[in-house]
Structure 1
Amino acid sequence: MSDGYIRLIPTDVNWQPTLDAAAAAVAYVARLFSGPDDDVEHVDHEFYDKVTLIDAGENTTRITCSSCLAEIDMEWFYDLIEESSESFDNLDTTVPCCGAVVSLVALRYDWPVGFARFEVCAMNPTRAKYELDARELADVATLLGHPVTQILAHY
């Protein structure tokens, strides 16, 4: 069985919160998943020096070009990620299908991925409603001081 993760990231790829705000968001998310069976294995935050891929793991199986709408081979994406060590100075890249320069953010992923310099990650959340709802996302955003989105991942 694969491990499940909820990865919460700012909507601005370069934005980072204060350490206190990050700690408050982690505590809040941990409370969302606390229960009699210790429903969450681990909640933490991570600051990255560069914009980093926040992937969906096994959930992402297809990418479509935002310029020509052709399907992009996943091997091309994996090679790009490996070459960059999952962090980027610039998110613009030349896609193999049509040669257009597009942002990695603009590519169409069958399962959402993100790019960020900060994340809150909850490992193995198992409550009845796996993902955070709109109110919970808004609460995390308030604690951090910036809007967030969630990436649901399995590895």
Structure 2
Amino acid sequence: MSDGYIRLIPTDRGWQPTPEGAAAATAYVARLFSGPEDDVEEVEYEFYDRVTLIDAGENTTRISCSNCNGDLDVEWLNDLIEENGESFDSMDVSVPCCGAVVSLDSLRYDWPVGFARFEVSAMNPTRAKYELDAEELADVTALLGHPVAQILAHY
């Protein structure tokens, strides 16, 4: 059985919050999933030194080129991650479908992915309402001091 994650990242891939903002947002997300059954296994935050791929794990089954609309094999992305780790100094890559140099964040993924230097993640969220709603995302935005995007992942 795979583990499910909600991953919250700033909409600006280079932005990072204060440590206090990170801790407050993480505590808030943990409260969203707290309950009598201890519904969430782990809520944590992480700062990254470099822009890092925040992927959707097994949810990602299709990637399309932003230049030619050709399909990219998910294994191509996995190989790229294997070569670079999940962090990138440059977002520009040469795609195998047409040879164009495009930005990783311009590719079209069937499940949203992101690139960031910070994330809050909740592992195995099992509340009835899995995803954070607009109000909850706005609360995280207020605590961090920057808009966030939500990435849903399974590994």
Q: Same fold (TM over 0.5)?
A: yes
Using the alignment, how far apart are the partners of 1:149 and 1:72 within structure 2?
Answer: 24
Give the AA of the match of 2:55: D
1:134 match: 134
Matched residues, number: 155
Per-residue deviation, residues 49-72 of structure 1 (Å, max 9, x unmatched):
000111111100110001110101
Superposition pairs of residues 5-20 of structure 1, within 5 angstroms: 5-20=5-20
Using the alignment, how far apart are the partners of 1:103 and 1:72 within structure 2?
Answer: 14
1:83 match: 83
- Correspondence 1:145 to 2:122: no
Give the AA of the match of 2:144: L
Gapped runs of 5+ residues in structure 2? none
Q: Where in structure 1 do 4 or more consecutive aligned residues deviate above 6 Å?
A: none
What is the deviation of 1:99?
1.3
SS at match of 2:24: helix
- Correspondence 1:33 to 2:33: yes
TM-score, normalised via structure 2 length: 0.98
What is the deviation of 1:112?
0.9
Using the alignment, how far apart are the partners of 1:149 and 1:138 within structure 2?
Answer: 10
SS at match of 2:15: coil
How many percent of aligned residue pairs carry the same amino acid?
79
Superposition pairs of residues 60-139 of structure 1, within 5 angstroms: 60-139=60-139
Gapped runs of 5+ residues in structure 1? none
Give the AA of the match of 2:125: P
Give the AA of the match of 1:8: L
